[in-house]
A and B are shown apart, each in its own frame.
Chain A
């Protein structure tokens, strides 16, 4: 009896896999975006999808599945059939949500395709702020504990972690003011209601160009192409690197050949002129990593954020 069952299953698998080997992809692919239409995640995904579908020969349909800091979408992708027809955009929250105690999201539950972009944090103040550089800013905060207010995009968000890491590393005491997203915090900074903001360089670009805001430092490994004159924290002797990033993932267990087809198409899309143009105009840094390196990176980020989040007392699972 048992042998028959095994044989039958084996036969079925063989049959299915020959069918699968026949041709991929043969129908439209769905790309799940974890954020609302209009944001950076959405823009990167749609730009890449528009290019990648040229190489795959089938349309890639982008679907925004919003909710719970992206947990709903990422969970959906992890539980989808690993047949290569469901792809997900994965932002930095892939490495944060578990540590925050929101949802059991782990990079190891995916077959990562590639990292597409990085977004280092930037510390921004008003143009007329009294601090010449980041050192003066930190020194002032040290002398006047809790007086300096830093706007963030919500407690436990990556830009909050960035601000908190700055305080943690330098020993300066800041008051963190959570806002529902980066745009309202920038508005509040322009209006003079808070002293500084940590968010992505692109989100303060128009304020800087318009002469209202000034970036003190960026928190990436190297300087931001948007502000070549602004130093990194590392250059200023503060060893903190915090950045958001984004990439693409498949549910775990996609057949190797299909994975390769998708990864190749996505790499070509990454190299395309329109993605380059998108990144330039939106202040996003392209940051390609192939799947295996992206996995190592995501896991190391997860360790980093778990450590930081616990230190900052942001873990909700007590």
Chain B
């Protein structure tokens, strides 16, 4: 009875209206570089205090889901991820749109983001407690192994030149060590500057490398500036054959997304990168990845939205944030007098069902709004190049600054932009830098944390089963491509 009542309540006009409002706002905020899903949820949270729980949460859940989805729109159209969760969407999405297939890319983003969201809602409804228990098994040694597993993908995101990829990757690792060290809070490479105590923020670097760097590169390279963009949007929906190819990677990515999302402290950025790499591994068209693969694109779109259900699982069952936006959502739930946690399921089951129902409906609302909204954003491609470039430059700068209101970030995004340009010119891939910035600190801090807990016994990394499995997989990921290459060389030689 609870379930039915809860789900019916969602279809009350007011609730549905606020949900749609949230989705609309999310599409706007998510596609703006620098305006993240976390920010969108945070800004709406105080507004929702005047609304009853089901309506307030409808708005928050709507904006959260759609902002993550919409981050992919700008990733596809202008190579600038709207939120960090869409970083991997640029790899295939932007390439597709450069090839004149933005239409397909955008609809894949809409359809598969919704698939990811729906899949994760099903998981949330069915097996939230076992999943959360599994997520709790992640202690420092498991986090370390997960980070290493992610870092092992540097090889596969390096593209043509593995050495160059690894080199910029290592530079990214070094860059991420600036600031207080994660264990003793000893200031490293800060030159005694207070501004550098927390290191460089990730978002300005990401926006600089991808957004600003791409514009600088095009300004230096484009011959036909004066002409209007010749880029067409192309076909609007993927072909049946393409859909068939995307099915299995999408399912795999959905599972990866939910699990990574459930693990506290890891979010859409890590999930979509890992999903992209796994999709590549099982694909029959590996060579297309990074060059406009629909499978790769679908994998990233599914994964970052599937993270939401996973993160909500951990939040609702344990009261722990699964990622940054859920940390803000916890505050909203507390405000409603329903602090999340096991007690919530026991004391207010209909409240929990309302949330799960809202997740479903939010994703269903995203589908039409997303496809329509993407078409409107795609209109930017019909602007003249100087105007479009100016728009990207100013949004990159102000968006990066807006995250923390820290003037230093203005310079970070600028310098990252110049480096993004130089790296493109020298044919250095950018994927490894992003991997390094996200996972480097996670690897180091958890290595040291695990060793503090184990009192210096390094064996913890192999005696814990999850960490052993992840580390073995990382070793395989490093060795297999080398073996394959040797085999190919032999074949070619013979």
Contacts and interface: CB of A to CB of B under 8 A. Distances in A.
Given A38-B331, A46-B46, A210-B318, A316 B187 contact: yes
A187 B265 contact: yes
Contacts of A64: 404-405
Interface in B121-138: 136-138
A264 interface: no
A167 to B, nearest CB: 15
B320 interface: yes
A205 B449 contact: no
A175 B452 contact: yes
Contacts, number: 150
B197 A187 contact: no
A254 interface: no
A177 B452 contact: yes
A10 interface: no
Nearest first, the 4 A-B pairs at minimum CB distance are A206-B319, A206-B341, A210-B342, A193-B139
Given A37-B39, A282-B334, A191 B185 contact: no
B449 A179 contact: yes
Given A39-B331, A211-B342, 8 more contacts: A38-B38, A64-B405, A67-B404, A67-B408, A72-B194, A187-B318, A211-B343, A314-B185
A291 interface: no
A209 B341 contact: yes
Interface stretch (A11-19, A149-157, A244-252): A149-157
Contacts of A207: 318-319, 341
A69 to B, nearest CB: 7
Interface in B312-340: 318-321, 324, 327-328, 331, 334-337, 339-340
A205 B334 CA distance: 11
B341 A210 contact: yes
A316 to B, nearest CB: 6
Interface string B336-370: 11011111100000000000000000000000000
B320 A183 contact: yes
Interface in B192-250: 194-198, 201
Given A37-B38, A67-B406, A281-B337, A178 B182 contact: yes
B61 to A, nearest CB: 16
A286 B327 CA distance: 22
B198 A68 contact: yes
A104 B423 CA distance: 38
Interface string B461-473: 0000000000000
Contacts of B342: 206, 209-212
B334 A66 contact: no
Contacts of A155: 183-185
A21 interface: no
Contacts of A99: none
Interface string A198-211: 00000001110111
10 contacts: A37-B39, A37-B328, A68-B194, A68-B195, A71-B194, A146-B455, A184-B265, A205-B319, A209-B339, A316-B187
Contacts of B321: 183
Interface string A45-64: 01000100000000000011
A185 B334 CA distance: 20
B402 to A, nearest CB: 10
Contacts of A50: 46
Nearest to A204: B319
B34 to A, nearest CB: 13
Given A72-B194, A205-B339, A206-B340, A187 B136 contact: yes
B106 interface: no
B174 interface: no
Contacts of A63: 405
A67 B334 contact: no
A24 to B, nearest CB: 25
Contact of A37 (B43, B198, B449): B43
Interface in B373-424: 404-406, 408
Contacts of A210: 318-319, 341-343
B430 interface: no
Contacts of A180: 182, 265, 445
Tell me if A's interface is mostly helix, strand, loop or mixed: mixed
Contacts of B185: 100, 154-156, 178, 314, 316
A241 interface: no
A194 B453 contact: yes
A186 interface: yes
A281 to B, nearest CB: 5
B90 to A, nearest CB: 25
Interface of B: 38-39, 41-43, 45-46, 49, 136-140, 182-187, 194-198, 201, 264-265, 318-321, 324, 327-328, 331, 334-337, 339-344, 404-406, 408, 445, 449, 452-453, 455
Nearest to A149: B453
Contacts of B328: 37-38
B84 to A, nearest CB: 14
Nearest to A212: B342
Nearest to A69: B197
A97 B393 CA distance: 36
Contacts of B186: 316
Max count, chain A CB within 10 A of own CB: residue among B195, B324, B335, B449: B449
Nearest to B452: A177
Interface string A259-278: 00000000000000010001
Given A65-B404, A281-B334, A282-B334, A37 B42 contact: yes
Given A183-B264, A205-B339, A191 B449 contact: no
Contacts of A146: 455
A257 to B, nearest CB: 29
A209 B185 CA distance: 33
Contact of A191 (B45, B46, B136, B196): B136
A92 to B, nearest CB: 16
Nearest to B448: A178
A282 B319 CA distance: 13
A206 to B, nearest CB: 3
A65 B406 CA distance: 6
Contacts of B198: 67-69
A175 B138 CA distance: 20
A271 B139 CA distance: 42
A313 B186 CA distance: 11
A316 B39 CA distance: 33
B136 A72 contact: no
Nearest to A280: B337
Contacts of B182: 154, 178, 180
A42 B194 CA distance: 22
B195 A38 contact: no
A44 to B, nearest CB: 11
A308 interface: no
Nearest to A63: B405
B138 A191 contact: yes
B56 to A, nearest CB: 14
